[in-house]
Amino acid sequence: MKDTGLVAATEFLRHPSMVGSAFPATARMVRHVLAPLTWADIRVAVEYGPGSGRFTFEMLRHMRHDARLLAIETSGAFVEKLRAACDDPRLIVIEGTAGAVGRHLAAHHLGRADCILSGLPFSTLDHSDAQGIMDETVAALAPDGIFAAYQMRIAIRPLIDRRFASVRCGYEWWNIPPCHLYWATQPRRDVSDLRGTDLEAAGSGRKPGDCM
């Protein structure tokens, strides 16, 4: 599998707010984000915004031979490069939006995801798009599934807090830019239809400063 890192800089120049960073994730950040995942239990994985494929290739390295990885990416250039760089039959690369994750899983006859990894730049997404993606994420995740995310800023934190009963946080300095890391479990489907900034702020009862 060939890395497609050079495309990241070009795509960042073309769509800065969608891509978020001109630099692909470092190997150290990839290891840090993926470390808590239990690969033996993951049969269906989803990646939002695979970009140049740094996480994608490492996930495939760990995944079971019968597992599937659905990588959803809006940029046609990244999609084309990823498809050309990797012929692993477990990987399904989709040109589309993370907001339609349920539809994409169904189209490939996959059930709920055991793991969803997000590299989306939530701080630059439209707020209602961000809420929609998180609602879809909760609906698409298995009850014992895990949602993992890496973010330059903390915009995603209240969106996660409201929708998951358990959230672990971390930070990775060795990346450009350094990132906040989140691992969320126990999706709360009962709240996924309640929207609005006030409700986001209300969160799950955790104080915003508990772990940023």
Ligand X SMILES: C[S@@+](CC[C@H](N)C(=O)[O-])C[C@H]1O[C@@H](n2cnc3c(N)ncnc32)[C@H](O)[C@@H]1O
**Touching ligand X, residues 142-161 (CB under 6 A):** none
Tokens of 164: 């998951």
Q: How far is CA 189 from CA 121, 139, 166, 186, 208, in A?
A: 23, 7, 13, 9, 21
Q: How far is CA 211 from CA 37, 51, 154, 167, 168, in A?
A: 20, 27, 10, 9, 8
Position among 4, 46, 48, 104 found at the interface with ligand X (CB under 6 A): 48
Q: How far is CA 47 from CA 23, 33, 50, 115, 122, in A?
A: 18, 12, 6, 8, 15
Tokens of 106: 């169904």
CB-nearer residue toward ligand X: 67 or 137? 137
CB-nearer residue toward ligand X: 100 or 202? 100
Position among 4, 32, 46, 52 found at the interface with ligand X (CB under 6 A): 52
Q: Which DSSP string corresponds to 75-91? A: -HHHHHHHHHH---TTE
H or E stretch covering 184: strand 179-187
Position among 18, 34, 110, 191 found at the interface with ligand X (CB under 6 A): 18
CB-nearer residue toward ligand X: 120 or 203? 120
Total residues at the site for ligand X (CB under 6 A)?
24
**Closest residue to ligand X, Cβ-based?**
49
Position among 4, 75, 131, 137 found at the interface with ligand X (CB under 6 A): 75
Applying CB under 6 A, does 73 fall inside the site for ligand X? yes
> Could you tell me how many residues make up the chain?
212
Applying CB under 6 A, does 49 fall inside the site for ligand X? yes
Applying CB under 6 A, does 140 fall inside the site for ligand X? no
Positions that interact with ligand X (CB under 6 A): 18-21, 24-25, 48-52, 54-55, 72-75, 78, 97-99, 119-121
